[in-house]
Amino acid sequence: MQHFEVVTAVAAPPDQVFAVCLNVESHTRSMADSSERVVGGKTRGELALGDTVTFQARHLVLNWRLKARITSYDQPRCFVDEQESGPFKRWRHAHHFEPDGNGGTIMRDVIDFASPLGPVGRIVDGLLLRRYMTRLIRIRNTYLASTFE
């Protein structure tokens, strides 16, 4: 299992950042470089506890589909999405939002994932996917933070 965290400062209060991160349209715009689009589940607006959404995107020259469910929701502190079906053996993304003391938010993404294929998947995770996913989350967060500027 791979684990990584990305911390991003955002110039907006936690409740606003929380809402933007749960917005389906904001998510797809933040992932425009990978041609991400919604192909199932909730297709518009803000996700809530129990909601599912299925995204299709192009990553590493392959088209992927991932269906995720919001499995935890503590507004405006944290929410968690987990893969129900898709390319990973396991995917869990916890989104944490804390006030920075100056009217902004410290957003912390905590991701745990594992690829299928046993030992081969673990090698791919360590050599390629962890770096790729970290970069992807940073790009997403840069976009989301820029919506408040």
Q: Give the predicted TM-score (pTM) of the model.
A: 0.92
DSSP string, 42-109: --SSB--TT-EEEEEEEETTEEEEEEEEEEEEETTTEEEEEEEESS-SEEEEEEEEEE-SSS-EEEEE
Fold of 2-146: Alpha-D-Glucose-1,6-Bisphosphate; Chain A, domain 4 (3.30.530)
Quick: pLDDT tens for 96-144.
Answer: 999 999 999 999 999 998 888 777 667 667 777 889 889 999 999 999 9
Quick: pLDDT tens for 7-40.
Answer: 999 999 999 999 999 999 999 899 888 788 889 9
